[in-house]
Chain A
């Protein structure tokens, strides 16, 4: 006799199994909609771009934000007066909210105008006049909302209202106002205010007249009070014009005017967000921007999702009608002259791990992707000529590959204050030159960067004025020009330099043993072991013993600040496309140890400094190129850096993602992007058909495995009864 409890359980189980199987098969037959779509149906019918972020942005306040992941958001929300032309290279500035590029007047010490061709030494101030377009409106925001009497509705929220709100959307009246010149001035004042903690405050104090004095004057006043405190070097002339007074001549200032630091900030925003109670609800200017750009931040949940939505008040803005050679053929001018932006919403989802991101990209749920090391082999192969090509898997999906050299450099630096590798002695210089030959960055790029990089011949990456391709841009210390290409010099040349430096066969005459050098790094994980071994092997080519001193980030920074590091790896992403933004990393007065600047290697060469001072204030011209060439030659000879490599950005775009041109420096690229939604929908459906039969098979296999047990059970029960 079968016990009633167990038999009923098993028979019910069998019945449900069959029912489930039938249900699953019926689902296959009836419903073709993807089950793995991670997005809600609310997105249907809108043009939506799907992207992801791996780490939440730290700041969204344009006075504070300074990293690329922060600019990915605020670049679409805030509008500085200038922007870069989307298609033309080298990068060209053009007006954004300004009516034209700023007019510059040079002034003498009494602030009297000088002629345009005045001698640089006579120029004490440069006065920038910026005219902004009329009728530009901010996104609707409670900070602007007023009642019929003209009083602000939400600048003095009471406790009851505060208790009722969790997001800005809980404040029902959201109004807008026009952009005024004083908003740009107000933002410059914010940059100066010590409580805002702008990273460029100290830098700008050296350039903007009255900036430092303003910072001192307002140190103890709340941010919202800045409006009524005048700044000598930044002031509005009327509603649509403002002036900025720069000390001396600083042509690069125009580039700063294309960065979010100089975007407008309405004083009402600070007055609104400064209310006690809002911060406790995480409603701050740092998290809820107020801009005039093509998008506004509709949802900000940095732990899950951030959503940009089209700003309905966005001013007329049009896709460029001209581009570079090849842009037309690449389809980049197909939308020429059309009103921007094209996409209604941009959904950024937090995706901490690369594997789910990659799978979702292949399923069509992300429109673009970079390529991590984990997925590189699935995505890219190299042809015999060394050109990157997509794998058949990606080609079948009509995915496009975009490769571009970024305006960045990764270099290996020597601490020039170090008695062994530093200084300007012939011994140390030859040692550094020998290492320039021995450390094979072509091999590094091949092994550790999957071929995504170009070995650097100097400080300036391609795309920056002053960079020279071909033989003209060759580093003759480490390379020879053979067969139309740069070839690294043989290791024998490096050994000869070592001998000339007094380290024959890498032996340090002071100790009679292999020369010991120290490499300071934060790369201490097991994954970094191969990289460190590679560095050791490069130095071993010359008989040098490299000691890797792994340390945590804080101690590493301390070593760099105090000059205790000897050899280190560092990198730099350009703020703006000007050689000054790279050469200043080697300018003596920017030394990290002595002046706390960005010259991490503490390189100081009076001739280089003199040329730098001459070059930085020049417009791009053959004369400037000539000076840059001289500076490069000095650096190649002194070798304070092993120039390392310029990273190459590889981007994968689905066939429905249009108008994307690589440009790391351009922050507001999103407005040019267009998505072919119907094509994406078709592809998603085709690629994501649910498959049920393996599950059914699995259930049947489990049932089959359990059946003998069930029989045993029944037999045992019979025996017992």
Chain B
């Protein structure tokens, strides 16, 4: 397995280089270093000299990808691309164009994101799997029909409605939790109750239907029929056999997103004023802060690769038939 993991990690290197090049090209197709300077310097009294000063100080006065007048390797290294990208592979994100340390910002902001995303994922999983098992348990009854109708209805509603409706009903009409904000340390739980609840409710429709499909596929298989024939109750068959054998597709969906939980959720964090990473990238794009954009795209790519790797590893843990080689 170790060999497999090392091989996968080595595969990741060219992939990350390619992602970096693509990000770089896409960003600079839309924004020139002059545009970036103007954005940072503001709207009033911006002169050409001020723009040149800013570019020089921030290293944007070099050629983008190829520095022809230079000799040897410097043709490649004395470019904006190299200067801004090389250190990423050492996870040194550097200083943003607005002057803040990106690594420090990420370290500070990822915990609130995780505080929201992890409970949302875990509680959501628990609720969705439980409800899906209940629906399977009551299959071919009015409960299954009713659950189907409710799930489709829940899926049809915009996530924004859940957020605004939840804030209005729970926060404003019932006055039970703060509408938005965040607390220090353990006090944060008060602010997380509502967004976590809304995340869970908003995900029930699709989640329950997805898990129901997985369980229904399993529940008709021979080994379940054998289990029932041996005298196991329906509940025991569902919880002890069906659930366990449906774990591979569940893991595929869950483990791959685990590392990305650090990256946060744009809408939830915006509406609930949670100081996470959700809006970090989009704010940077709006401010034309390339340093942050490249760092976040790089980090997202790394985390996604890690997520895929973890998924592969998790298969071996839940299914003894799977071997990584």
Contacts and interface: CB of A to CB of B under 8 A. Distances in A.
Interface residues of A, number: 65
Interface in A184-235: 194-195, 197, 199-203
B275 A301 contact: yes
A304 B279 CA distance: 12
Interface string B41-68: 1101111111001100100000000000
B253 to A, nearest CB: 26
Contacts of A363: 172, 175, 179
A362 B44 CA distance: 36
Given A197-B50, A554-B30, A557-B38, A688 B175 contact: yes
Given A40-B183, A40-B184, A34 B44 contact: no
A694 interface: yes
A709 B174 contact: no
B101 A355 contact: no
Interface in B167-187: 167-168, 171-184, 187
A622 interface: no
B50 A282 contact: no
Interface string A302-342: 01110000000000000000000000000000000000000
Interface stretch (A413-421, A634-642, A712-720): A712-720
A690 B175 contact: yes
Contacts of A40: 183-184, 187
Contacts of A557: 35, 38
Contacts, number: 162
B233 interface: yes
B233 A38 contact: no
A374 to B, nearest CB: 10
B272 interface: yes
A68 to B, nearest CB: 12
B213 interface: no
Nearest to A716: B234
B104 A351 contact: no
B3 interface: no
A64 B175 CA distance: 42
A5 B279 CA distance: 45
B161 interface: no
B296 to A, nearest CB: 14
B69 interface: no
A553 B287 CA distance: 11
B321 to A, nearest CB: 29
A58 B184 CA distance: 24
Given A199-B50, A304-B275, A349-B273, A359 B167 contact: yes
A691 interface: yes
Given A5-B236, A598-B44, A709-B141, A690 B174 contact: yes
Nearest to A301: B275
Interface string B156-171: 0000000010011001
A626 interface: no
B178 A36 contact: yes
B291 to A, nearest CB: 13
A35 B176 contact: yes
A713 B50 contact: no
B98 interface: yes
Contacts of A553: 39
A261 to B, nearest CB: 11
A3 interface: yes
B42 A67 contact: yes
Given A195-B57, A199-B44, A596-B48, A279 B273 contact: no
Contact of A36 (B175, B183, B234): B175
A92 interface: no
Given A6-B235, A36-B171, A304-B275, A360 B179 contact: yes
A713 B138 contact: yes
Contacts of A200: 45
B138 A199 contact: no
Contacts of B175: 34-36, 363, 688-691
A552 interface: yes
B316 interface: no
Interface string A687-717: 0111110110000000001001100110011
Interface centre among A350, A352, A356, A720, by most chain B C-beta atoms within 10 angstroms, is A356
A145 interface: no
A295 interface: no
Contacts of B146: 705
Given A5-B236, A6-B235, A712-B138, A197 B41 contact: yes
Interface in A283-310: 284, 286-287, 301, 303-305
Nearest to A694: B174
A594 interface: no
A630 interface: no
A117 interface: no
A356 B273 contact: yes
B109 interface: yes
A66 interface: yes
Contact of A352 (B44, B46, B142, B273): B273
Interface in B73-112: 95, 98-101, 104-105, 108-109, 112
Contacts of B32: 554
B284 to A, nearest CB: 12
Contacts of B41: 197, 199
B215 interface: no
Contact of B49 (A202, A281, A349, A360): A202
A533 interface: no
A238 interface: no
B275 A36 contact: no
B137 interface: yes
Contact of A596 (B47, B99, B104, B174): B47
A480 B95 CA distance: 58
Nearest to B144: A709
A36 B174 CA distance: 9
A358 to B, nearest CB: 10
A683 B172 CA distance: 15
A717 B233 CA distance: 8
Nearest to A67: B42
A353 interface: yes
B233 A66 contact: no
B191 interface: yes
Interface of A: 3, 5-6, 34-38, 40, 58, 66-67, 194-195, 197, 199-203, 279-282, 284, 286-287, 301, 303-305, 349-353, 355-356, 359-360, 362-363, 365, 552-554, 557, 575, 596, 598, 688-692, 694-695, 705, 708-709, 712-713, 716-717, 720
A-B residue pairs, 8 tightest by C-beta: A304-B275, A38-B181, A38-B178, A356-B180, A554-B35, A303-B275, A202-B47, A352-B270
Interface of B: 30-32, 35, 38-42, 44-50, 53-54, 57, 95, 98-101, 104-105, 108-109, 112, 137-138, 141-143, 146, 164, 167-168, 171-184, 187, 190-191, 233-236, 239, 270-273, 275, 279, 288
15 contacts: A35-B176, A36-B177, A40-B184, A286-B99, A303-B275, A304-B112, A359-B168, A553-B39, A575-B44, A596-B47, A695-B176, A709-B138, A709-B143, A712-B141, A717-B233
Given A199-B46, A353-B270, A713-B137, 17 more contacts: A35-B177, A58-B98, A195-B53, A197-B54, A199-B44, A199-B50, A202-B45, A279-B99, A356-B167, A356-B180, A356-B272, A359-B168, A363-B175, A554-B288, A596-B47, A596-B48, A692-B176
